[in-house]
Amino acid sequence: MNSVLSAPWFHWALVVAIGLPVLLVLLTELQNLLNRRGSNLARPLSLVRNYILPLGALLILLIKASEVSTEATPVRIVATVFGFVILILLLSGLNATLFQGAPEGSWRKRIPSIFLDVGRVVLIALGLAMIFSYVWGANVGGLFTALGVTSIVLGLALQNSVGQIVSGLLMLFEQPFQMGDWIDAPAGRGRVVEVNWRAVHIETGDGLTITPNSVLAGASFTNLSRPAGAHRIVVETEFSGADAPDVVIDVLTRVATALPQLRTDAVPSAIPLGGNRYRTSIPLRSPAEDGAAKATFLRWLWYAARRTELHLDGAEDTFSSEDRRWDALQIVGRTLRLPPATQRSLLGNVRLIRYGADEVVQAPGTVPDSMRFVIAGMVQLRAVAPDGAHVPVRTLDIGDFIGQTTLTREPVAAHAIALDEVTMLEVGREELEDLVSGQPSLLHEIGHVIDERRRDLAEALNTTK
């Protein structure tokens, strides 16, 4: 019995028999704790528990307890597997501690994946060389010498290509743009849809432009998406020298403010440039909306300039001619039951105005100063729900009118949106007062329309609840 206790292998066997189960239990509990916390160190710890500890215990039993020679093939095989698992643990641990938990914007987060892949290959090559050198006694010095000479030869032969790749990789390390950003580069203007070690894929309006990283690294380009919330477009327009600058600026800002692409809580601005030219700056949500926002702005501005009797591009508006006004009064006369004499008296005091498709004809909360009758096109009345959504109430056709609270001086509660190009005949407040004084029944009819519109508005809002 004493001979067994004093034998050299007994102590090693006792260490393995007691230490291995205890360490397995401790590492299991620690791994469960890390899993509950979502830690990146849980995977490297599982390698230690499942592979390194058992393989290390097996090596101790083979070498110390069984006293098998380290040069024996079974020992070398186990030692090779053990060293390879240690190498995997090293790679996994570095990745978990340095890169997986890296904060956004740090240098660790910006390192391109190809740099990490190259680093892993180098570490694996060095690790395998050390395993074969120490475990199997292989001479790896000659192999490294041959690889070094080959690398020098290839580097000299491919210095231009390698230089371009390296410059592109350095640009990726800096990360001046990310996936989804909009950039304005010499190759084109568009959204970045793919970034790899060789090229950047830019989605433009004409297709997919593939630009080598080295080209972007050696050129200047603009990231339209940074800083976030700062993107805007600039539109230059020209008016007549007879147009008052303050009136022009007011029209430009009002049209820009109504754009659906306008960034939330942003305020457009307009300034005179001299020479009858004006510059309007419009903040947008995304560069993707540049084209649509500019087209809508210029289209709505054409109509708004003519409604306010401004001369966009120096053009005169002759649309509201006497013949057209008279034809429009025939429609209004049928709606309000006006005699021909009353229509003729209104001929010189009314005017025709036009609105573009999707333009706001009447905004909620405003007090109208005129009644406007639909002569051509269609206008949709919309209620504004508590969540900000627009709910259709009714569609106005030829002969219908808005601004029925002109005489009562009450603010309107509904949106009025032009569904297509709309022509309207505008009758001012003073002319309405004269009509009402001569036709008391007309005031009753207008009051009836006000009550009817209120009921329609309430019913539309109740359907959204």
**What total of structural domains would you count in the chain?**
4
452 and 333 in a common domain: yes
Domain boundary among the residues 250, 272, 307 is at 307
- Could you read off the pLDDT of 158-213 as tens digits, one per residue? 455 565 666 666 676 677 887 888 888 888 888 888 877 678 888 887 788 888 87
DSSP letter, residue 388? S
CATH number of the domain where residue 199 is located = 2.30.30.60
Residue 76 has pLDDT above 60, yes or no: yes
Range of the domain at 77: 2-111
Q: What angle do CA 361, 365, 369 make, to 5 degrees?
A: 60
Weakest-pLDDT range from 49-53, 96-100, 309-313, 400-404: 96-100
pTM: 0.66
Specify whether the CB–CB gap between 368 and 406 falls below 8 A. yes
Asked whether residue 337 falls in the same domain as residue 374, the answer is yes
Q: Cβ of 326: how many Cβ atoms within 10 Å? A: 14
pLDDT for 100 = 65
| Mean pLDDT confidence for 124-144 | 73
Question: Based on the domain organization, do 209 and 334 belong to the same domain?
Answer: no
Higher pLDDT, 93 or 299: 299
pLDDT value of residue 423? 97
Of 307, 334, 350, the residue that ends a domain is 307
In a domain, 163, yes or no: no
Q: Are the C-beta atoms of residues 424 and 378 closer than 8 Å to each other?
A: no
Which two three-digit tokens encode residue 246? 């303050």
Q: Which of 93, 111, 129 is the last residue of a domain?
A: 111
Are residue 392 and residue 413 in the same domain, yes or no? yes
Average pLDDT over residues 142-150: 61
Of all residues in the chain, the percent with pLDDT exceeding 70 is 83
- Integer angstrom CA distances of residue 227 from 123, 170, 222: 38, 22, 11
| Average pLDDT of the residues in 373-389 | 89
pLDDT of residue 140: 65
Query: Tens digits of per-residue pLDDT, 227-277?
Result: 776 789 999 999 999 999 999 999 999 999 999 999 988 899 999 999 999
The pLDDT of residue 1: 47
Compute the distance between CA of residue 189 and CA of residue 178 in angstroms, rounded to an integer. Answer: 15
Residue 248: both structure tokens together: 């022009």
To the nearest whole number, what is the mean pLDDT of the chain?
A: 83
CATH of the domain at 246: 3.30.70
Q: Are residues 241 and 219 in the same domain?
A: no
Which secondary-structure segment (H or E) carries 132? helix 113-134
Q: Is the pLDDT of residue 154 over 60?
A: no
291 and 326 housed in the same domain: no
Q: Tell whether the model's pLDDT for residue 384 goes beyond 60.
A: yes
- Are both 185 and 279 inside the same structural domain? no
Give the highest mean pLDDT range of 72-81, 143-152, 364-373: 364-373
Question: Can you give the pLDDT at residue 74?
Answer: 80
Would you place residue 98 in the very low, low, confident or very high pLDDT band (cuts 50, 70, 90)? low
